């Protein structure tokens, strides 16, 4: 059974590419093991909120769970921030399809070669 726990600073420090940003997240846990995470990260340079997903092969086997937690985070971000962005991971083959399914649309912008998408109500 999959469950989540609140993300701690050390969890984010393991995933952050640069400086530890302002964030809120949850770690997905299965049988006491961390198998992925979902978070909202506020980019330091412009304060925009970005949805970030860390999906392992084990978590990928639970698409219904992924959609539910993704939608929960989208709803929370939209109610508090009014906008939400994400990056289409060029290394993840299912990224485009999954993000479009959740309601993200391209902005025309790229960051480090990855497309920036924004959530839009369907």
pLDDT digits (tens, 9 = 90+) for 82-112: 999 999 998 888 899 999 999 999 999 999 8
Please say whether the beta carbons of 115 and 85 come within 8 A: no
Please say whether the beta carbons of 28 and 10 come within 8 A: no
Q: Which residues of the chain have a pLDDT value below 70? A: 12-21, 122
Q: Alpha-carbon distance 102 to 119, whole Å? A: 8
The CA angle 61-92-68, to the nearest 5 degrees, is: 45
Task: Report the chain's mean pLDDT, rounded to a whole number.
Answer: 88
Please say whether the beta carbons of 68 and 80 come within 8 A: no
Q: Alpha-carbon distance 99 to 87, whole Å? A: 9
Residue 96's pLDDT is 92
């Amino acid at each position: 059974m999959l469950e989540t726990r609140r993300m701690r600073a050390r969890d984010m420090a393991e995933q952050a590419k640069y400086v530890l940003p302002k964030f809120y997240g949850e770690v997905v846990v299965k049988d006491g093991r961390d198998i992925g995470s979902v978070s909202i990260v506020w980019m330091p340079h412009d304060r925009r909120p970005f949805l970030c997903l860390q999906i392992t092969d084990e978590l990928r086997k639970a698409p219904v769970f992924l959609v539910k937690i993704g939608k929960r985070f989208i709803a929370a971000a939209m109610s508090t921030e009014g906008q939400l962005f994400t990056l289409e991971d060029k290394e993840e083959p299912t990224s485009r399809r999954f993000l479009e399914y959740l309601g993200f649309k391209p902005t025309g912008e790229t960051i480090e070669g990855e497309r920036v998408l924004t959530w839009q109500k369907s």
